[in-house]
Structure 1
Amino acid sequence: MHFHTRLLGLLLATGSLGAAAQQSAEVTVSGSVTPVPCNVVLAGNGVADFGALVASDFSATDPNQLGSQFIGTTVTCTSGTQVAIEVTDNNSATAAPDNTPIIVGATATGNNVASSASASSFMGMGTAPNGAAIGNYIIAVTNAISDSTPAEMIRSEDSGATWAAAAHGVARENIYYTWATPGQTAPLSVSTATIDLKVTAAMDDMTTMNADADNITLAGSATLTLVYL
């Protein structure tokens, strides 16, 4: 969330007749003005759990698709507010798009995402004990509802200056997503709005990660930030 604080400095001068030196004192007036407060809640504590995986069930030589998990997301504001979301990869140093060049069914509409076209959307899942990158995942926004009414998500690549339709819904850093009336590209003011975060993942081959000998723990982490428009 972005909050802005402005400070005003007032200089009060006092004086007297005669030769006495002038004295002054500064009074600082401080405070803050914030937009209508909004909160975001992620179902299941925001965990996309792909379960207990067994190395022998996966390819030793090719990338492995893990499918999708969905995280219900609810934004509530005390009154109608234009607010967007931005997703940031907290583990970007471990992203390795070339290791899983395609993530199957990752968009909001179920299309594949190729690293050659959208590498910046591939988020890291940590490293194996041998230092190899485990794989990548993609977050897409889908199933938008605004104040109990079906909506669509729109996106901005210039901090909210302009908006466009976002049918594929794939999130990445520095992209804002917000709710709009279907077919429109103007942000709605929302009191309660929901989406599903579709988390779709793929792992590298088991040989590269030495998965037959080592325990591998998926460790993806992303932050969802509310941005007031």
Structure 2
Amino acid sequence: MKTLLIPVATFAWLASVATTHAASTVELTVGGVITPMACTPVFAGGGVVDFGKISQQDLNQATGTRLPLKSLNLTVSCNAPGRYALRMRDNRDGTAHVNSEIFYGLGLDGSGNKIGVYSVKFDPKQTVAESGVQIYGIESTTGGVAWRTANSNPIDIGSQSLLGFTVTEGSTAGPSPIQVLSSTLTLEAVINAKQNLDLSHDVRMDGSATLEVVYL
């Protein structure tokens, strides 16, 4: 009986050693692609949207106040046709009084209250490519792994999801290669409820965001 126990015990010990050794190292692989493609997004008018002076008496006391819609022209020019998507980063992160990836903050008043939010909407029907063909919007919430069905419905650009454009309606294959894209965007701003703001002096709206081209 002892002659059978010795090799079994030895095997178990060796297996333990092998397992410990395997867990002592791990590999890290770093990859990526440097592409010759380069795209430049440009807002007309320097990307400045000014609502002018707004009287506090025009604000709703207990609910948000929607301001008039503003149009903003955008052109994305690339050195060659390529696949890309857009997303936007809030430079006033943490100042939006509504928690959503499509709402961006308008800064804080003198007492640290959140002034309001704004959103930027793309309309495929007001978006054209250099080819002149019909454009459809397509969105991914998985970083480009999967895409929603392309359609012509307006869509708000988010800070986490990707927004692209394709020439194929109903496609789930992602954006089409496009060299020059022109679009008229709609910006909508909502001021926080009057009761939530310190209006004892001028409150300056201070929204700022960065539009990013993501190469696919």
Distance 2:101 2:40 in 1: 27
Structure 2 equivalent of residue 145 of structure 1: 128
1:133 Cα deviation (Å)?
A: 0.6
Distance 1:59 1:174 in 2: 31
Q: Do 1:5 and 1:33's aligned partners in 2 also have CA atoms closer than 8 Å?
A: no
TM-score, length basis structure 2: 0.75
1:145-192 deviations in Å (ceiling 9; x for gaps):
111333111111112122113624112112111111151324111111
Residue aligned with 2:159, SS: coil
Structure 2 equivalent of residue 204 of structure 1: 192
Structure 2 equivalent of residue 163 of structure 1: 147
- Counterpart of 1:152, as a letter, is Y
Q: CA RMSD in A?
A: 2.2
- Counterpart of 2:66, as a letter, is Q
Distance 1:95 1:72 in 2: 24
Distance 2:34 2:60 in 1: 55
Is structure 2 residue 162 aligned with structure 1 residue 176? yes
Distance 1:197 1:81 in 2: 22
Distance 2:79 2:101 in 1: 34
Distance 1:228 1:154 in 2: 15
Structure 2 equivalent of residue 224 of structure 1: 211
Q: Give the number of equivalent residue pairs.
A: 180
1:25-61 deviations in Å (ceiling 9; x for gaps):
xxxxxxx942321111111111122122121222333
Distance 1:33 1:137 in 2: 34
Q: Do 2:122 and 2:185's aligned partners in 1 also have CA atoms closer than 8 Å?
A: yes
List gaps (5 residues or longer) in structure 1.
7-31, 98-114
- Counterpart of 2:158, as a letter, is R
Residues 141 and 36 (structure 1 numbering): CA distance in 2 closer, same or farther, change over 3 Å? same
Residue aligned with 2:194, SS: coil
Distance 1:35 1:170 in 2: 29
Residue aligned with 2:121, SS: strand
Distance 1:90 1:134 in 2: 15
TM-score, length basis structure 1: 0.71
Structure 2 equivalent of residue 22 of structure 1: none
Quote the sequence identity (%).
25
126-135 vs 55-64, which moves further: 55-64
Q: Do 1:67 and 1:202's aligned partners in 2 also have CA atoms closer than 8 Å?
A: no
Residues 157 and 150 (structure 1 numbering): CA distance in 2 closer, same or farther, change over 3 Å? same
Distance 2:137 2:36 in 1: 22
Q: Do 2:101 and 2:160's aligned partners in 1 also have CA atoms closer than 8 Å?
A: no
1:61-109 deviations in Å (ceiling 9; x for gaps):
3321113212111011122111111111111211111xxxxxxxxxxxx
Structure 2 equivalent of residue 122 of structure 1: 103
Q: Do 1:87 and 1:172's aligned partners in 2 also have CA atoms closer than 8 Å?
A: yes
Distance 1:214 1:60 in 2: 17
